[in-house]
Amino acid sequence: MLRLLGSPKPDWLKHLPKGNHGIRFVTEQRTENKIMTKTIKLSTGLIMALFISACSVTGEVPQDPAAKEKEELPVVSEEDQLKSTAMLIEGIQQKTLGNPQRAVAHFINAKEKDPRNDAAYYELARLHAMNNELEEAQKHTETAIALDPGNNDYRLLMADIHILRDERPKAVEVYQHLAGRHPENTRMQRKLMSAYIHNDQPAKALEVLRHIESLQGMTRETGMQKMEILIRKGDYETAIDEAITLAKLFPEEPAFIEVLGDLYMETGQQEKARDTYLEMLEQDPDSYMARLLLADYYHDKDAPEEAFAQLDKAFRSPQLEFEGKARIIFSYMQWGQEEPVYMDHAMELADIMLSMHPDDSEAWLVYGDLLNQADKKEEAREKYLQGVKIDPSSMSVWQQILSLDLQLGDYEGMLDHSDTALEYFFEQPILFLFNGLASMQLEDYEAAASSLEYGLAMTVDDEELREDFITMLADTYYYLDAHEESDRYYEKALGKNPDNATALNNYSYHLAERKERLDEALEMSQRSLELQPDNPAFLDTFGWIHYQKGSYEEAEKWISKAIEASDDPGATILEHYGDVLYKLGDKERAREYWQQAEEAGRNAKTNK
């Protein structure tokens, strides 16, 4: 079963067989971490005996490798023992103070003063293990165990070292020994159970878990663990039976019914899953989780309207947090690329989400993403602007707003929004680029030059961004009639990148406007067309240079191509074509194109 984007299921459910059983709408807001206090006691005597027998463990201490070494260690005077203990205490203090090297020195002195000071070996072993010096850690731990075989902490450290050395069977042996010595210690039993699970011995893990239940009764936690183990074993039917039992024993806990539904869905028993989710609703009519699970069921049945009806109710639940709603909407956005009905549903869900979380900036931004994908740019921009009013701290959202300003051709909005963004992110060069572009389009060239020069000075590591600044500065200085400065920036841009198509086109066009170096301009324009052969502006430039050279037929050929390549020819291209037609003697058509150019210019000003 696939789950909704961003909604991972418990790791142990991944052991279920894979099938195409739908998309999960379940969020991470599960109740699995609540601790159940209600228990159900089982008979213990026989189970305990069987458990100890099954583990093949007795209370006897096995022969340790360092046992012989213990016999050979000298016995020191009581005075030396006291000095050794003092050194040990000083070492522990140094470790607590964050001085591990000094601590090691004290522990070494302690074991040398009293070779039978088991705690000194233990502390040394812990420090070696922390430094991943596992061979030394194991050697000192073996000595500590030989000196005090009954100390559980020493043996637990040994198990940890075995795990770090990827010696899981040896770790299991240690836990078996401890569990056998302490059959009523549930902490030890749980460690043994976990060791069996990680050593891929689910059957033995299940035996230990049954023993734990014999000690403390069946709890919510042990029930979940039992289902996990059963699934690892591949015993799905027993897992389902266990889930049914737990759901009856703990009717106030919806997690068991939910997991039962999961198991039904994962094993292809979808109708039983639906009945289970309906039962969840009977117990709790306000359960958003049941609604999400039913939505998953209906989605799997290719019934989008029924799935949406469940999500509509789930989204209105205060218990379903924003993050869960956002994940579902993003999934609907993905599906909406193929099926429009999902995009419509996503819009409705986003409306509900916004009504439930009006003060959450992320809710506005998610809605903005949705509208942007639906190509509703103005509406998307409004949602983004609402989001940054609540929380203006996201640079990426400001960039999205400015990008939409550019796409909408709203340069006054771009100037205003870039000014506001710079109040929060004055160190971001890209904002000065947008700010300069807006000023240039609004014909405030002095302000544009100031913003662009400042942004260029701040741009150090991003060569592509520097190139954009330099090209725009060249354009800006041209409009300021600072032609030498403009040419200098164009040459600088082309020096960095000879194939900068925009610089090639703009430089050649401005030379044509000035009627200077026309042959050089024609070469640059031709190169820009090689890079972007269908660009209307580039085609117009190439034609306009021919016009300035007096090649009117050639100019007509290229500017007409520019008009054909443009969905909505601008005033400049139309005016140029009128000029060419006039030179070719077609004065009537020339007047028509000049009139179109004038109208296009008025429209452009109106739309600003």
User: How many residues can be counted in the chain?
Assistant: 608
pLDDT confidence band for 70 (50 / 70 / 90): low
Containing 513, the helix (H) or strand (E) segment is helix 501-514
pLDDT of residue 218: 79
| Cβ atoms of 575 and 562 closer than 8 Å | no
pLDDT over 70 at 300, yes or no: yes
Q: What is the DSSP letter of 40?
A: B
Please answer whether residues 27 and 7 qualify as being in contact, where contact means their C-beta atoms are separated by less than 8 angstroms: yes
- Asked whether residue 221 is assigned to any structural domain, the reply reads no
- What is the Cα gyration radius of the chain? 38
Q: Which of 12-16, 310-314, 536-540, 565-569 has the lowest mean pLDDT?
A: 12-16
The total number of structural domains that make up the chain: 2
The percentage of the chain sitting over the pLDDT mark of 70, rounded to a whole number, equals 87
User: Considering the domain boundaries, does residue 137 fall inside one?
Assistant: yes
Tell me if 537 sits within 8 A of 562, measured CB to CB. Answer: yes
Helix H or strand E encompassing 451 = helix 445-458
For residues 9-31, give the mean pLDDT: 42
Q: Of 148, 172, 190, which residue sits at a domain end? A: 148
Q: Can you tell me the distance from the alpha carbon of 147 to that of 127, in angstroms, rounded to the nearest whole number?
A: 19
Q: Which residue bears the tokens 């591990």? A: 100
In a domain, 405, yes or no: no
Rounded mean pLDDT of 567-591? 93
Is 168 part of a structural domain of the chain?
no
Q: Flag whether 533 is in a domain.
A: yes
Residue predicted with more confidence, 18 or 359: 359
Write out the residue range of the structural domain in which residue 437 sits: 412-607
| Residue where one domain finishes, among candidates 86, 118, 148 | 148
Cβ distance 126 to 138 under 8 Å? no
| Cβ atoms within 10 Å of 153's Cβ, excluding its own | 12
pLDDT recorded at residue 457:
94
User: From CA 476, how far away is CA 449, in angstroms rounded?
Assistant: 6
Tell me if 485 is assigned to some domain: yes
Average pLDDT over residues 165-171: 90
Per-residue pLDDT tens digits for 473-501: 999 999 999 999 999 999 999 999 999 99
* 261 — pLDDT class (breaks 50, 70, 90): confident
Please give the average per-residue pLDDT across 392-414, as a whole number: 95
Of residues 22 and 312, more confidently modeled: 312
- pLDDT score, position 53: 33
Residue 144 lies in a domain: yes
Query: What CATH number is attached to the domain comprising 116?
Result: 1.25.40.10
* More confidently predicted of 129 and 11: 129
Rounded CA-CA distance 289/280 in Å is 9
**Residue 42 clears pLDDT 50, i.e. is over it:** no
Q: Within a 13 Å sphere around the CA of 99, how many CA atoms are in the beta-carbon half?
A: 11
Domain-ending residue, one of 127, 148, 169? 148
User: Are 117 and 85 within 8 A, CB to CB?
Assistant: yes
Mean pLDDT, the chain, as a whole number?
A: 85
Q: How far is CA 482 from the centre of its chain?
A: 48
pTM of the complete model: 0.65
**pLDDT at position 217:** 83
Of 22, 1, 5, the C-alpha closest to 332 is 5
pLDDT over 80 (residue 27): no
Given a cut of 50, whether residue 289 has pLDDT beyond it is: yes
Question: Is 450:440 a contact under the CB 8 Å cutoff?
Answer: no
Kindly state whether residue 571 falls inside one of the protein's structural domains: yes
Q: Is the model's pLDDT at 320 over the cut of 50?
A: yes
**Mean pLDDT, range 70-96, rounded to an integer:** 89
Task: Give pLDDT, residue 50.
Answer: 27
